[in-house]
Amino acid sequence: MTLIASKSNKEAFYLLHEGTQYQSYQFLGAHLEERDGCKGVNFAVWAPNAKEVNVSGSFNGWDGTHHAMTMQDGIWSLFIPELEEGTLYKYEIVTLDGDRYLKADPYAFQTEVRPETASIITSLENYEWQDEDWVANNSSDQHLQRPLLIYEVHLGSWKRKEDGGFYSYVELADELVDYVHERGYTHIELMPLAEHPLDSSWGYQVTSYYSVTSRFGSPRDFMYFVDRCHQKGIGVIMDWVPAHFCKDAHGLGRFDGSPLYEYADSRKGENPTWGTYIFDYGKPEVVSYLISNALFWMDKYHVDGLRVDAVYSLLTLNFNRPKEEWITNEHGGEEHLEGIAFLQKLNAVVFSRYPDMLMIAEDSSAFPGVTTPVDYDGLGFNYKWNLAFTSDTLSFMKKNQSERNGQEDQLTRSLLGTRDANYVLPYSHDEVNYPNKSLLGKMSGDDNWQRFANLRVLYAYLMAHPGKKLVFMGTEFGQMNDWNAEGSLEWELLSHEEHQQFAEFVKEMNHFYKGEKALWELDFEPSGFVSLVAEEKEDSLVTLLRKAKSGNDQLILINNFKIEAHEGYRLGVPEPGGYQEVFNSDKLEFGGSGITNAERLETEEWSCQGYAHSISVNIPPLAAVILKYMPKEG
């Protein structure tokens, strides 16, 4: 039985070939159906250049000749009665040259656990979601004016069992979600979960874009994980990889015997550094495939956002290519016009259906307008990773005390660009994988006390700096070694006092950040912050005034990156009144030296640093002090 050529199918096919079919997963792939009273599965796959396509699986001894498909408008289809959920299958492709091979279903909802590669007939229907409150409370979410504190996670190495096995989605839905909630993060960002054959790729080389990886359980198990996050008030962001795909034989590459999903020209269609194929963004069916996939994770799994990987590679034709191999576009430039158009279309479509979705660009380029709306000729993301901030701050923190003199611009120049884009400030997995060292391992210092103090002031500066926040797992308790994706985080470190103290500092800092509107409400507004005492860089003090919409809701955040303390430091302030210390990274319970400001600090009419009023404040070594403004009474 073939797919009936109904009016609705003709329209669906037409939109697919136009590049505007944004729910192609609803009719392509394997779907449990009932026809004329007979239950079975309808298979449909786009393979316009194949000579034959058959359905091969565990039900026919992997001999596809018993189940030949028929083609209409480049779509091969077949209804097979009596097949049930859980059945294994692949498509048997016969090329124009007569070659015959098996391919996994590009639209499969589930795939075997690696190293096996068969697709699995699966229904994603009838899961009873319990996240109504989350959906209702976030339906009008204005992300730019809310706290965003992301905990980036690689599920396979957050924690392992004693035998080295993975925790399942269901087990993580309790242990990981409770952990993240307790420590004050607003979102979990999951490194790519689409099915991938190689653990060491961390999920960035995908074979099955519609299959959540079976390493940790079933699609329904992952639904439960997301559901549990939402019930705990935690959003879920997923890394998404539309820039390239791996060359494994069962995957998308040369799918019907020809370059179908990838560019035919190897100069555009292959990434030599990563050893992968590049999607053909000029092909309407590929655009439909990718945008449908982005929406699929939102439609079926309720994810709250996508961090789009390797955006720079979609913006230029010559990403990672030696100069002698450079090519140009039709106008003679290096811009990847089709890649840019795809990103604009992606964001326009996503926001037309999910206005409050998080679409975050991991982009290392200086391409303008990444977070400018598409209507204003931007790429249309609502956030971009600020990788310059990451590089500059970590470069500074690696320097010993004498080397920091005169280098404070590495800390402050990112402040000059805070309004160039809506930024997320990331300390991600890229900064801590081998051989880059953990964040704690990057900190300079003569002993552990200095290294932990450096990490505390860096973390506090991250919270003080305009922009949303992302930190990789393990940072919150001071992971010592580089991140190892084949093992577990070093949870045993929490048996040591200094790591416990740092973990308590991060927990309190996170909750403090979430509770103070001045730290996030005007992140991207000119009135949201002022840099104070910039002319006294020799002190290695970076002092920011952060404001909320309410004019009197102000914080002064003093960050001291030197080992020298300052007793009675004279600090000019813009408003008369009082200032109360509300956070101090040097508290004894955090492992600090205990230099604090116990009393309310009253302003004096003492001109200092360009202001008519000033206060006298104690600033501890390698520490952050946060003062809350108290308006002058009367």
| Helical axes 387-398 vs 448-464, angle rounded to 10° | 150
Element (H, E) at 470: strand 468-472
Task: Give the CA radius of gyration of the chain.
Answer: 27
Q: Which residues are catalytic?
A: 309, 362
What single string gives the DSSP state of each residue in 74-93?
TEEEEEEET--TT-EEEEEE
Q: Where are the beta strands (DSSP E) in 186-249?
A: 187-190, 194-195, 208-212, 235-240
Contacts for 424 with CB less than 8 Å, ≥ 6 apart: 148, 150, 360, 383, 384, 385, 386, 467, 468, 469, 470
Q: Rounded CA gap, 70 and 55, in Å?
A: 11
| Cα 462 to Cα 425, 445, 457, 467, 633, distances in angstroms | 7, 20, 9, 9, 32
Peptide bond into 81 cis (omega under 30): no
CB 116 within 8 A of CB 154: no
CB 362 within 8 A of CB 310: yes
Phi, psi of 152 (to 5 degrees): -85, 130
Helices (H), 302-423: 312-315, 337-353, 387-398, 409-412
Q: Which pair of structure tokens corresponds to residue 521?
A: 């409400």
Phi, psi of 397 (to 5 degrees): -70, -20
CB 251 within 8 A of CB 114: no
Longest dimension (CA), the chain: 92
CA dihedral over 361, 364, 366, 367, signed as positive or negative = negative
